[in-house]
Structure 1
Amino acid sequence: MLEIYKSVKELLKLDRVCIDNTIFRLHYKATVIILITCSLFATSNQYIGNPIDCITENVPSHAMNSYCWIYGTYTVPERLNGVIGRDIIQPGVGSRDGASEIKFHKYYQWVCFVLFFQAILFYMPRFLWKSWEENRIKMLVHNLNSLVVPEDNKEERKKIIINYFKLNMGHHNGYMAKFFFCEVLNFINIISQLYFMDYFLDGEFSTYGFEVLKFTSLEPEIRVDPMARVFPKVAKCTFSSYGPSGSLQNFDSLYILPLNIINEKIYVFLWYWFIILTILTTISLVLEAFILSCSLVRKMMLKSRLRCTRLHNVVKLLAECKVGDWFILYLLSLNIDAVVFEEIIADMSASIESAV
């Protein structure tokens, strides 16, 4: 298993410098790892066997496997419920007349590609933010984010931060706006992907998690397995060819789809993960908007990162700062040792007071 996921190991590394928040990291870190892992797992023949196996006598099995994998299998929706072994052999598999509706299934062959494409979309806001951020915080906190900060280096780095802040005070609103724009992109992306997966699964994804949860509480005789409806483990396929005399012949065969055992579990997990992530992202955006509109909250958030600095130093400093300046200070507080950051705030406050 470790050999399969060797390519994911790089994504598990945490950045030494924090330039975002926890919800942002859930999008580009946790969700990307989940999607890539699921994509790799869906292609691991070593653990699920062949993705499709046919049961047929008249056509070579390898030809039927290739044909039905390419053109898709189908189930009969009216045969989804019933007692297996008496009414049906498997959910969705049974006899049908000419008027019976059939449902074709081809999306399972695209699952691994779609999951990987979704992972790329989840990483795009992070890519934009890193491009716009230009390692600004990393350069400012250089050598100040370690457990032990050398005294000779500390004073020099403090002066660099204070001088940078004095020269650029009032010019960080664009920096803050770009970060907030990327957070909005995260929200747009997660909503769009919910609609996209519902379209990809023929309208089944929107209620998939609820249906699976409800399925476990119903009586076996009346319940219809939503996982079997979306990802059938056994399906049918019809292969048409010409006989020796040139007449058309149809060969109806059963197919076992081991790949769907993995797919159904993947999408149950993704349904709950995406719903939770959507709720958390919405709450985060509302809180961000509240923080940006309330100076008192910004003061208390910055003060919470300090231990001994008097509140009036923070108030005095923030009185001269714009929202973007506060955002830079807050990011610095996440990356710099608390004692060193307190000294920087005190020196900044004294510098502003002397200038006034």
Structure 2
Amino acid sequence: MFHVFGPVKGLLKLDEVCVDNNVFRLHYKATFIMLLTFSLLVTSRQYIGDPIDCVVEGVPQNVMDTYCWIYSTFTIPNRVNGEIGKSIAHPGVHGNVEGEDEVKYHKYYQWVCFCLFFQAMLFYVPRYLWKSWEGGRMKSLVMDLNCPVVSESCQIERRGLLVDYFRANLHQQNFYAYRFFFCEILNFINVFGQIYLMDVFLGGEFTTYGRDVLWFSEMEPEDRSDPMARVFPKVTKCTFHKYGPSGTVQKFDGLCVLPLNIVNEKIYVFLWFWFIALTILSGLSLIYRMVVVAWPSLRLFLLRTRSRLSGQHEVEAIADRFQIGDWFVLYQLGKNINPLIYKDLVSDLATSFEGKQLI
């Protein structure tokens, strides 16, 4: 297992300098790693075995397996319910396709690993854009002030540099903040759009899949219709045609077992709950961000919370002069540098803006 998932381990390391927030990291780190892991899992034959095994008389098994994997298998949706072994052989599998029977073809399973990998890349796009636009600014501003031990002379020198930076760039950092806010919007659009993407990929079954699985577990046994057997059937049918000795077309009906769907059904149940939760969190984060941009009083409150060791008048002196971009950079600095050094930085900034000389 380590051999398969070892490459993902390197993605778990924490960044030395935080340039975003927890909800943002749920997108590019947690979800990205999760989707990559699932993509690797569905391609690991040592855990699943052959992705498809078909049984039919008159056709070599390897030929039938390859044919059905490439050209898809099918089930009959109105034959999902029934007594197995009597009215039906397996959920969705019936001996003959009758006129009123609707045939549902399953072609998605050969694309699952590619789709999961593509989704992982989409989740990383906002992170890539933000890292490109951010350009290491926060790391340069931190200047190793996040280290547990920093000499007094070094602290004073670097705090002075930060004060000079804020004075020189006052009201010129809004674009920096707005680009981060834009990436937060991209995160929300991405996760919402991916729910729609997976719904299309699974033939319109994904949006209600997790809810149906929950309802299925609470229903009476005789009324149950397993949504996992409907969306991810473990046994399907496949029809193979070939020419016989006299040149006539012969039809071979086979049963195909799909071990891969045992994993797929669990993956997509988990993704349903994860994506719904992530969509809600991202939506709440956007609402919070809009309130922060529109309401200066909230920015003052948040800066006070971040600067718990500083005097209230010092925080107010800074907040009165800062626009959204200046506030955002200072707030992000508070996440990264030592709290005691941050307290002194706030004091130096307040003193500077009040027109006094720094000691």
Q: TM-score, normalised by structure 1?
A: 0.98
Unaligned runs of 5+ in 2: none
**Conserved? CA contact 1:72–1:104, under 8 Å:** yes
Q: CA deviation digits over 1:256-309, x for unaligned, max 9?
A: 000000000000000000000000000010011111111111111111122331
**Conserved? CA contact 1:39–1:115, under 8 Å:** yes
Number of aligned positions between the proteins: 356
Q: CA deviation digits over 1:182-235, x for unaligned, max 9?
A: 000011111111111100000000100010001112223321111111110000
**Conserved? CA contact 1:243–1:249, under 8 Å:** yes
What's the secondary structure of 1:206's corresponding residue? coil
Kindly report which structure 2 residues correspond to 1:294-333, keeping only aligned pairs within 5 A, or say none.
Answer: 294-333=295-334
Q: Output the CA distance in 2 between the equivalents of 1:150 and 1:55.
A: 75
Offset, 1:355: 6.5
Q: CA deviation digits over 1:13-61, x for unaligned, max 9?
A: 1111111111100000100011001111111100010000011121000
Kindly report which structure 2 residues correspond to 1:326-341, keeping only aligned pairs within 5 A, or say none.
Answer: 326-341=327-342
Q: Which moved more, 1:209-218 or 1:271-280?
A: 209-218
**Conserved? CA contact 2:307–2:315, under 8 Å:** no
Unaligned runs of 5+ in 1: none
**Conserved? CA contact 1:76–1:92, under 8 Å:** yes
Q: Output the CA distance in 1 between the equivalents of 2:247 and 2:157.
A: 89
Given the alignment of the two structures, is residue 40 of structure 1 paired with residue 40 of structure 2, yes or no?
yes
Q: Output the CA distance in 1 between the equivalents of 2:186 and 2:4.
A: 31
Q: Output the CA distance in 2 between the equivalents of 1:345 and 1:78.
A: 69
Letter in 1 for 2:201: F
Partner of 1:64: 64
Q: Which moved more, 1:92-101 or 1:124-133?
A: 92-101
Letter in 2 for 1:48: I
Query: RMSD between aligned alpha carbons?
Result: 1.2
Partner of 1:50: 50
Letter in 2 for 1:322: Q
Partner of 2:93: 93
Partner of 2:171: 170
Q: Output the CA distance in 1 between the equivalents of 2:276 and 2:192.
A: 9
**Conserved? CA contact 1:74–1:102, under 8 Å:** yes
Kindly report which structure 2 residues correspond to 1:87-126, keeping only aligned pairs within 5 A, or say none.
Answer: 87-95=87-95, 96-126=97-127
Kindly report which structure 2 residues correspond to 1:1-356, keeping only aligned pairs within 5 A, or say none.
Answer: 1-95=1-95, 96-354=97-355
**Conserved? CA contact 2:57–2:252, under 8 Å:** no
Letter in 1 for 2:177: M
Q: Which moved more, 1:66-75 or 1:88-97?
A: 88-97
Q: CA deviation digits over 1:138-157, x for unaligned, max 9?
A: 01102101222232322222
Q: Output the CA distance in 2 between the equivalents of 1:18 and 1:274.
A: 24
Letter in 1 for 2:138: I
What's the secondary structure of 1:304's corresponding residue? helix
**Conserved? CA contact 1:54–1:254, under 8 Å:** yes
What's the secondary structure of 1:104's corresponding residue? strand
**Conserved? CA contact 2:50–2:259, under 8 Å:** yes
Q: Which moved more, 1:153-162 or 1:343-352?
A: 153-162
